[in-house]
Structure 1
Amino acid sequence: MKDPVTAVTGITYDRESIEKWLKTTRNTTCPVTKQPLPSDSDLTPNHTLRRLIQAWCIANASNGMDRIPTPKSPLDKSRVIKLIREFAVPSLCINALKKMDVLAKENERNRKCMQETGVGKPLVLFLIKCHRERRIVGLEEALRILYLTWLPSSEIKAVLNDKHDSIINCLIWILGFDFDQIETNNNSAVVVIKTHAMLVLRKVVEILNTRVLEKLEPEFFKQVLKIFNSKISQQATKSALMILTDVCLWGRNKSKIVEANAIFDLIEFELQKPDKNITELIINLLAHLCSCAEGRAQFIRHAGSIAMLAKRILRVSPATDDQAVHILSLISKYSAAKQVLLEMLRVGAVTKLCMVIQADCPAYLKEKASGVLRLHTNLWNNSPCIAVYLLTRYQR
C-alpha cells in the first residue's frame, strides 16, 4: 500500500485500488465484507498504517526499498471554487490556471472534483475572452484542463449552445494561429495547444445542436483539414477525422467538405499507409462523402483512389471491408463510366469483390459485392482473372 484508506465497512485498502474497484459500475460492495459500499463513500486516510509502512521502508532501505512519500490531501471543492473565483481577477488568472493545470494532471480524483465543481463554464468563457482579445497566454493550460475535466453537463451544454459561434471561432482561430511568430523555439507547446484544441473541438461538436452544425462556415472545414494534413499528432489526426465524420451528416456539410478538397487529402494520406485505426476512419469518411455526386466525382478523379480501395479490402478490418465495398457499389451504380469500370478491373477491384464472395465475410457483405458484380458482368466477364467465375455464377 502507498496510500492506505479505511472504508466505512472498517476495512483498509490502498486508495488507488479501492477507487478503481468502486469506479467499476458493477462493484458496489466492500470486497472483503460484501456490505454495500457506494462509489461516493468516504475513504478515511489510515495514518497509523501509513507511518508503519514508511518506517518499514526506511528500515529496509539497504535492501533497495524506497520510502513511500506522504500522500497529499485529497482536493476539495472549496479550493477549486477559490481558484475559479480568481479567474475574474486579471492579476491572478494565469497563476490560478497553472495551479489548476497541475491539479488536473495529478490524478483522476482531482479531475472528478473539478468536474463536479463546474470548471467547464469559466474555462470556455476564458477561451472566448482570449480569442476576443487576441491573447495566447494561458491557452495551453486552459485547453488541457478543459479536455481533462470535460463533463457534458447541462450547464456546459447551455453555455456552448448559447455562445456556439464564439467558441467555434475561438478554436478555429487557435488551430489557424501562426504561433511561430511568437514562440519560434517552443514547437512542442504549439503541438500541445493545437492538439488539445482539436480534442476540445471534437467534444464541443458532439453536444452542439444540429441547427448549429448545419451552419458551419467553409473556414471550419479548411482549418480541420489543415490540422489533419499537418500530422502534428496521432490524437489530432483522429480527432479531425471524427469531427468531419460527425458534421458531414448535417445540412450541406458534405458538399463543403468536398469543396475543401478533402477527398484528395484523405486518399493521399491513406496512400502513406497509416495505422489501421486511422485507415478505418478515413475509409468510413470517404464512404459518407461518396454518397453525394460531387464526392464521387472527386474520388474517381484521383488516379490512385480505386487502387487504394481495392488494396484495403480484406486487409484491414470488417468495418473497412464494409465501407470500401459500399464505395465501390456507389461508384458502380451512379458513376459507372466505361473508363471507371475498366479501371476497377485493371487495378484489381473486381477481383477483390470476387474474393469477398468467397471469403469468410458476413452474408450481407457478400450480397453487396455480388450486386456490384451483377451490374457490369457484360463488361467484366472477358477478364482472364474472373471469366470462369463470372460466367458460371452470372450467366447472361
Structure 2
Amino acid sequence: MVRDDLYITIPSFFRCPISLDVMKSPVSLCTGVTYDRSSIQRWLDNGNNTCPATMQVLHSKEVVPNHTLQRLIQIWSDSVRHRRVDSANTPPHPVPSQDQVLELIKNADRHNPDAFFDSLPKIVCFARESDGNRKFLARTDGFVPTLVYFLGNAGDKASGDQYFLEQVVGVLEMICKEIEDHEQFSNSTVKSDRDCLASLVLILQQGSMESRIGSAKLLESIAIDAESKLIIAEKSGLLPELLKLIGPEKDPTLVEAGLLCLIALSVPRRVKVKLVQLGAVKLLTKSLSEPNAAVSMTEKVLKLLEMLSSVKEGRKEICDDGKCVEGIVQKVLKVSGTATEHAVTILWSVCYLFRDKGAQEAVTKANGLTKILLLMQSNSSPSVRQMSADLLKIFRPNSKTFISCYDTKTTHIMPC
C-alpha cells in the first residue's frame, strides 16, 4: 500500500503531551514522561506540582534532557524535509472527478480493505474540494456504511492502521452534516455491535491534532439523543480524553472542538456528575484565568460550567473553589452578552438556589455586587435582570455598603 505523499503521519511519541506539537527540546520528569521544555516549564511556573499526563505528585521538579528522543526527532524531521523537496518537484495529484470517485468506491468496498486503503487519500482530496463534493459522497449509496464498517472493525489489517483510521474519521467528519438519515448514521456508529467508539477513543489518544479535532466533531454530531449521549460518555476512556483536549495549553481549535463535544454530551445528569468527578470544574477554572482567551472560547467554558452547576455535585465543586467563582464574576459584563448570561446563571445557581456562603463571600470579594447592580441598569435580557434581582435579595441584608441603600425599582445607582 502506498500512502499519499501529501499526508505525513507524526509519530505520537514525538508530540508533547501538553501542546501536541512536535517537541523541539524534549525533557523528562521524574515520572518518566517526556514533554517539550517550554510547555512543561510553563506548567511548573504556574505553581503546579503534578505530572500533567499522569497527575502524579512530583517529588522533584528537575527536568532531564532526553537526548535519544531529540536525535530521533531530528532524523525524522530531516526525512520529512527531503520528502517535501521531492514532492515539490513533482506535479500535485489532481482532484478526481465524480465518475472517478464512484469507480474508486465501487472497486474499494469492505470486502477489499487494501483497495479501500489506497483509494481513501484520493477520496479525502475530493471531499476537501467543495461542499458539493461532500454532499455527493454523503449521498452515494453504500459509501457511509462502508466507512462506518471500517471505523468499527479496527482489529483487521487495514482498519487497524492508525493512519487509515484517521483518514476514515476525517472523511466522516467532513460529510456527516450532509447525511440525510442522520438518526440511522448515529445508530450505526453508537448503538450497533461494531465498536466505532473504541476507534474514536484511539484517535483521541494517539492521533494527529487534526484527527483529534475530527473525532471530537464526529462525536458531537452523533450524540443526537439522551441514549446516544450516555452510550458515548460511558465508553471507557472517552471523557478523560475529551477533557485532555480542553487544557489551557492546547491549540484553540482543538479546545473549541473538545468543549463543543462535551457540551453536547453533558445533557444527561449522569454525564455531568461524571465530568465533575473527573475534575472538569478545576480544568475549566484554569481556562477562565487565561488572559487572552477568545470570546467564543470563554463563552463555551462558561456554558459548560453552567451545565455542571445544574447538579449538586457541580455546584459543590464550584463553591469549594473560590478561584472559580472569582473567575466567573470577572467575566460578567466583560466578554459578551452570551458570556454574561452564562456567568450570571452560574452565580444565581450557587448563591441564590444553593445558598452557599463561601460562594457568596467570593462574589463579594470579587466586587460582584457592583456588577450585579450594573446588570440591573443594563440592556440585558429579562432573565438576566431577574436573576440579578434575586441575587440582590441575597446580598442586601448582609451588606453594610451602598448596596443597602439601593432600591431595585430604580433605574440608576443611588449614593447613600
Tell me the TM-score normalised to structure 1 length: 0.70
Aligned to 2:406: 389
| Cα distance change on mapping 1:390 and 1:383 into 2, 3 Å | farther
Supply the AA of the counterpart residue of 1:376.
F
Alignment equivalent of 1:94, drawn from 109, 117, 121: 117
Q: What are the Cα deviations for residues 220-279 of structure 1, in whole angstroms up to 9, with x where unaligned?
A: 211110122275433332222122212211241110111111011011012113100011
Deviation at 1:74, TM superposition (A): 8.2
Alignment equivalent of 1:142, drawn from 168, 182, 186: 168
Aligned to 2:151: 127
> How many residues are paired up?
308
CA contact (8 A) 1:377 1:390 kept: no
| Cα distance change on mapping 1:112 and 1:387 into 2, 3 Å | same
Give RMSD over aligned pairs.
Answer: 2.7
Aligned to 1:211: 227
Supply the AA of the counterpart residue of 1:257.
L
| Cα distance change on mapping 1:76 and 1:338 into 2, 3 Å | closer
| Cα distance change on mapping 1:166 and 1:81 into 2, 3 Å | farther
Is it true that 1:324 corresponds to 2:343 in the alignment? yes
Aligned to 2:258: 240
- Structure 2, unmatched stretches of 5+, are 1-93
Deviation at 1:153, TM superposition (A): 3.0
Residue correspondence of structure 1 range 12-23 to structure 2 within 5 A:
none
Aligned to 2:77: none
Deviation at 1:342, TM superposition (A): 2.2
Distance 1:232 1:136 in 2: 22
Q: Secondary structure at the match of 1:137?
A: helix
Q: Secondary structure at the match of 1:153?
A: coil
Bigger radius of gyration among the two: 1
Aligned to 2:282: 264
Deviation at 1:165, TM superposition (A): 6.7
Alignment equivalent of 1:83, drawn from 91, 99, 105: 105
CA contact (8 A) 1:75 1:110 kept: no
| Cα distance change on mapping 1:117 and 1:348 into 2, 3 Å | same
Deviation at 1:103, TM superposition (A): 1.3
Q: Secondary structure at the match of 1:291?
A: coil
CA contact (8 A) 1:86 1:93 kept: yes
| Cα distance change on mapping 1:196 and 1:363 into 2, 3 Å | closer
| Cα distance change on mapping 1:213 and 1:307 into 2, 3 Å | same
Residue correspondence of structure 1 range 1-396 to structure 2 within 5 A:
75-76=97-98, 79-87=101-109, 88-118=111-141, 119-130=143-154, 134-150=160-176, 151-154=178-181, 155-163=184-192, 166-177=195-206, 190-205=208-223, 207=224, 209-215=225-231, 216-217=233-234, 219-229=237-247, 232-273=250-291, 274-380=293-399, 382-383=400-401, 386-389=403-406
Q: Secondary structure at the match of 2:335?
A: coil
Distance 1:108 1:392 in 2: 53
Deviation at 1:200, TM superposition (A): 1.6
CA contact (8 A) 2:288 2:328 kept: no
Q: What are the Cα deviations for residues 23-76 of structure 1, in whole angstroms up to 9, with x where unaligned?
A: xxxxxxxxxxxxxxxxxxxxxxxxxxxxxxxxxxxxxxxxxxxxxxxxx89833
Supply the AA of the counterpart residue of 2:374.
M
Deviation at 1:95, TM superposition (A): 1.2
Deviation at 1:391, TM superposition (A): 9.5
Distance 1:161 1:392 in 2: 53
- Structure 1, unmatched stretches of 5+, are 1-71, 180-189
Q: Secondary structure at the match of 1:117?
A: coil
Greater RCO, 1 or 2 (C-alpha within 8 Å, sep 6+): 2
| Cα distance change on mapping 1:277 and 1:214 into 2, 3 Å | same
Supply the AA of the counterpart residue of 2:218.
V
| Cα distance change on mapping 1:323 and 1:300 into 2, 3 Å | same
CA contact (8 A) 2:134 2:175 kept: yes
Tell me the TM-score normalised to structure 2 length: 0.67
Supply the AA of the counterpart residue of 2:118.
N
Distance 2:211 2:155 in 1: 14
Q: Secondary structure at the match of 2:406?
A: helix
Q: Which runs of 4+ in 1 moved over 6 A?
A: 391-394
